[in-house]
């Protein structure tokens, strides 16, 4: 049982480039989330999904996009990367609205 | 607005006891989580409180008072491996998670 798997673990992008952060879970969870965490700061919600085909914006969605075509996968797309998007990105999932989140190991992204 | 307050940093001695406080003002309440996050790693779940009182789990305990909008995480018999950040998160009335900025706990020998 792998849990939540994120790829890649590290990435360096140039300003203006695009990339997709992959997230997959094998626990059949309906709820999936993307967070970013800046040094010494808490988790900021980017996008979330309550099931396949349904996505919604969190508190910091600008510059990002998501899709949820299957229960398992929830990729995060960065278009036109900017230095402000340098951060650690965590994907998480849970099976019910009041269940604890299961986190992936994170993707450390640097935009220069 | 919704807000969660935790101390930024705390220092304690190996073998001692430390209490990390969390106060919250949220639109509704459906539960409170405590997570541990070691540097460079993902958060891991520690405890969940939805009713008032103390939940004990080994060396860690978590307390909740809904009327006061207050929780604490109590760590006993501190070990060096407990050096980490501790995150408090509240589930609001829309079942969204509101996160505190975390408390960095430094354990000294």
Give the minimum alpha-carbon distance from B42 to chain A in angstroms, rounded to a whole number. Answer: 5
**Which pLDDT value is given to residue B2?**
86
Please write the tens of the pLDDT for every residue from A10-47: 999 999 999 999 999 999 999 999 999 998 888 999 99
Buried-state track B43-71, b at ≥16 Cβ within 10 A, e below 16? beebbbbeeeeebeeeebbbbbeeeebeb
Nearest to B42 among A98, A100, A103 (CB): A103
Chain A CB contacts of B50 under 8 Å are 98
**Which pLDDT value is given to residue A41?**
84
**Mean pLDDT score across all residues of chain B:** 96
Q: Looking up tokens 């999904």, which residue turns up?
A: A49
Those of residues 69-88 in B touching chain A at CB distance below 8 A are: 87
Chain A CB contacts of B43 under 8 Å are 43, 90, 101, 103
CB contact under 8 A, A106 and B42: yes
CB contact under 8 A, A90 and B91: no
- CA B35 from chain centre, in angstroms, equals 6
Please write the tens of the pLDDT for every residue from B62-105: 999 999 999 999 999 999 999 999 999 999 998 899 999 999 99
How far is residue B33's CA from residue B27's CA, in Å, rounded to a whole number?
Answer: 16
How far is residue B76's CA from residue B68's CA, in Å, rounded to a whole number?
Answer: 24
Nearest to B95 among A41, A97, A102 (CB): A97
Across the A:B interface, residue pairs with CB atoms under 8 Å apart total 38
Please write the tens of the pLDDT for every residue from A88-109: 999 999 999 889 999 999 999 9
Q: Residue B1 pLDDT more than 90?
A: no
CB contact under 8 A, B91 and A98: yes
**Which pLDDT value is given to residue A2?**
79
**Which pLDDT value is given to residue A84?**
96
Q: Residue A1 pLDDT more than 80?
A: no
Chain A CB contacts of B42 under 8 Å are 90, 103-106
**Which pLDDT value is given to residue A37?**
96
CB contact under 8 A, B96 and A45: yes
**Which pLDDT value is given to residue A39?**
85
**Which pLDDT value is given to residue B14?**
98
Q: Which residue has the higher pLDDT, B2 or A91?
A: A91
* Residue B82 phi, psi (nearest 5): -80, -5
How far is residue B109's CA from residue B57's CA, in Å, rounded to a whole number?
Answer: 24
Nearest to A100 among B33, B99, B101 (CB): B33
How far is residue B67's CA from residue B72's CA, in Å, rounded to a whole number?
Answer: 14
CB contact under 8 A, A45 and B30: no
Contact of A100 with A43, CB cutoff 8 Å:
no
Nearest CA in chain B to A10: B40
């Amino acid at each position: 049982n792998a849990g939540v798997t994120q790829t890649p673990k590290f990435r360096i992008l140039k300003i203006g480039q695009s990339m997709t952060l992959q997230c997959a879970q094998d626990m059949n969870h309906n709820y999936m989330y993307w967070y970013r965490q800046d040094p010494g700061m808490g988790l900021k919600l980017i996008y979330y999904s309550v099931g396949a085909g349904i996505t919604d914006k969190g508190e910091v969605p600008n510059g990002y996009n998501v899709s949820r075509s299957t229960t398992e996968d929830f990729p995060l797309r960065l278009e036109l990367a900017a230095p402000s998007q340098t951060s650690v990105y965590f994907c998480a999932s849970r099976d019910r609205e009041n269940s604890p989140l299961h986190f992936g190991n994170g993707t450390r992204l640097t935009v220069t | 607005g919704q807000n969660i307050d935790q101390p930024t940093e705390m220092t304690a001695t190996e073998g001692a006891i430390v209490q990390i406080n969390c106060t919250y003002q949220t639109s509704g309440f459906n539960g409170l989580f405590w997570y541990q996050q070691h540097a460079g790693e993902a958060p891991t779940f520690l405890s969940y409180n939805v009713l008032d009182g103390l939940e004990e789990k080994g060396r860690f305990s978590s307390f909740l008072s809904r009327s006061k909008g207050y929780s604490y995480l109590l760590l006993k018999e501190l070990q060096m491996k407990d050096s980490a950040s501790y995150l408090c998160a509240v589930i609001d009335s829309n079942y969204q998670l509101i996160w505190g900025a975390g408390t960095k706990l430094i354990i000294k020998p």
